Structure 1
Amino acid sequence: MATPTDIARKPIDFRHRVAAYVSLTKPRIIELLLITTLPTMLLAARGIPSVWLLLGTLVGGAMSAASANVFNCYIDRDIDRLMRRTKNRPLVTGEVTEREALVFAWVLGIGSTAVLWFVGNPLTAALSVAAILLYVVLYTLILKRRTDQNIIWGGIAGCMPVLIGWAAVTNTVTWEPLILFLVIFLWTPAHYWPLSVKYKDDYDNADVPMLSVTMGEGSVALQSVIYAWATVVGSLLLIPVAPMGWIYTAAAVLAGVWFILEAHRLYFHVVKNDGEAKPMRVFHLSITYLTIVFLAVGIDPLVYLPLI
């Protein structure tokens, strides 16, 4: 059987090499992070910021997230070989060498810092560096292989884009972005733990202590209910603080009820053990929920309809 080194020696055409580098950045994760950044900037400006600032922050933020993801792929290359869902990542197959991945990660990280400093301010750049360090050091190096609470505290890195977006516009961090930070922080376990059920055997085989491995599906379902409730309650805090109008309020309440009901449905079927539990339904719905909430965050200040 060919080893990664053998594969690396085979010529790879330009298109496949570019695709391999893009794959290392985990573009789907970046897309989700940008969905939270743009609306936060609109809220911070109470309108539309300059196109230069908007595009520069999004590009810099995408580069920052890409850098963290490539570092993550480099560090986790040993366990990626053991899991079905990650065994085809470029560092495992040899499409990208370890040295190339490290250089790519550093270039993206340094480039993102420069872009965010130039188009934004030093605070924005500093928050971006903090986000990279949180994901690479706190989550990947320290927590991921040691505790089933890894996704909670490691998920802090995924909350940073709202602080970055707000700081780019205002050069400050106030209560509004901190509440949005809290929303994403509480949302992350309810989003990711159901996914971990699907890949439980993968994590077990790689000796990664995800909650689905250490405590089982029942604990995942219960925690999903708790964190769904906490997320929705947290989202409502923005209404009096920002303040937000009818558009955000309606979206947060209606989408929140939907999110909570689906989490309860998962828990009900798991407890009943009737074979109808669908953790991936909650996983996919959680993405829709967060998208709806942040769309409302961006639209509300543009079409502000005060509650009173």
Structure 2
Amino acid sequence: MTTHIAEMAMRPSWRDFWALTKPRVVAMLMVTAVVGMVLAPHEWLSAWQYTAAIIGLWAGMASAAVINQFADQQYDAMMARTQSRPLVKGRVTATMALTWAGFLAAASMILLTVWVNPLTAWLTALGMVGYAGIYTRYLKHASPQNIVIGGLSGALPPLLGWAAVTGQMSAEAWLLVLLIFVWTPPHFWALAIHRRDEYANAGIPMLPVTHGIELTKSLVWYYTILLLLVSLLPYLIGMMGPVYLVMAIVFGLGFMREAWRLRYHDKEGQAMKTFGFSIVYLLGVFGGLLLDRMISVAVA
């Protein structure tokens, strides 16, 4: 009887499988993918095609997140931020996790290939390999520039959304990728500063561990300057209008302010404030892209 109760207690729930997909991270990526879909010039598709694109893209990103947790479970067990993940706690077995990841990957490829277009399917597969394979299995543990190089796979969602409705890759779509690519290092390095000791104990060569916190703070500041400049490009090339420009400047200056405080007036908790605002920044800028497009369509 006692054994039966213990087995029931360890049986995974749907919440455990949901947690394996890193729902908050994937949700943020999906926001950028949907914005890419909205901004792309295209004829209206059927409701099912839009649905298939959204579900297919989500499934691909979720599959990569599951594989990431599978590959990193021994390191996750050493860090307070990740110690409660289902694989670490033993609520989900490795076989279950890989089966779930495989199902999501297959669903993604089928939906995108059959009902969207092959280009989107292959780009999504490339993103999965880049994040779950190249970044997680190699770069993350090989170089302090891991998040810079590996950040490309996490920057692809707006391109995926664009390709899903056009079947093409344009310069404008790659500009959205560049925006996220430049955003990723200051976003993640701010968190790495706060979690520096945990990364050191886990043997992960994050920049604050290998080159020190002060250099990392400086690079966070420099990247926010570069990010502001990059964020102006959609307006300068005529892709977006003044509404986007105002929001890009406001959120860009806000991110720079937090990075400045982190570098020159660091107080307890400032690294996490910078990290938190980086998320606000990304949602604000992509919200600006969406709002600008909606206004331009409404007044046309």
Alpha-carbon distance in 2 for matches of 1:131, 1:297? 23
Structure 1 CA distance, aligned partners of 2:268 and 2:89? Answer: 36
Picking from 10, 16, 40, the partner of 2:7 is: 10
| Mapped partners of 2:125, 2:45: distance in 1 | 23
> Could you give the per-residue CA deviations for residues 23-81 of structure 1, whole angstroms, max 9, x where no partner exists?
11110111110110111111103797643333222211111111001111111111112
Q: 1:150-299 to 2 correspondence within 5 Å?
A: 150-270=146-266, 275=267, 278-299=270-291
Pick one of 135, 140, 152 that aligns with 2:136.
Answer: 140
Residue 240 of structure 1: how far off its partner (Å): 3.2
Separation in structure 2 between the aligned mates of residue 135 and residue 291 of structure 1, nearest angstrom = 21
Provide the identity percentage: 37
Residue 115 of structure 1 pairs with residue 111 of structure 2:
yes
TM-score for both structures, normalised by structure 2: 0.92
Q: Counterpart of 2:27 in structure 1: which amino acid?
A: E
- Does the 8 Å contact 1:39/1:298 carry over to 2? yes
**Amino acid aligned to 1:111:** A
Shift of 1:243: 2.0
Using a 3 Å threshold, how does the CA distance of structure 1 residues 36 and 49 change in structure 2: closer, same or farther? farther
Partner of 2:70: 74
Deviates more, 1:79-88 or 1:128-137: 79-88
Q: Secondary structure at the match of 2:265?
A: helix
Gaps of 5+ in 2: none
Equivalence map 1:93-104=2 (5 Å): 93-104=89-100
SS in structure 1 of the partner of residue 155 of structure 2 = helix
Match in the other structure for 1:3? none
TM-score (norm 1): 0.90
Q: Which structure's residues are more often helix, by fraction? A: 2
Measure how far apart 1:300 and its partner are: 1.6
**Corresponding residue number in structure 1 for 2:292:** 300
Mapped partners of 1:87, 1:244: distance in 2: 43
Secondary structure in structure 2 of the residue aligned to 1:237: helix
- Given that 1:248 and 1:296 are in contact with CA atoms closer than 8 Å, whether structure 2 keeps it comes out as yes
Letter in 2 for 1:108: L
Give structure 1 stretches of 5+ with no counterpart: 1-5
Amino acid at match of 2:250: L
Give the conservation status (yes or no) of the 8 Å contact 1:175–1:241: no
Aligned AA (2:296): Y
Mean CA deviation greater in 127-136 or 253-262: 253-262
Specify whether residues 137 and 208 from structure 1 end up closer, same or farther in structure 2 by C-alpha distance, changes over 3 A only: same
2:280 partner letter:
T
Secondary structure at 1:301 match in 2? helix
CA separation in 1, counterparts of 2:61 and 2:98? Answer: 15
Shift of 1:102: 0.7
Structure 1 242/99 Cα, relative in aligned 2: closer, same or farther at 3 Å? farther
Aligned length: 294
Contact 2:36 2:160 in 1 (8 A): no
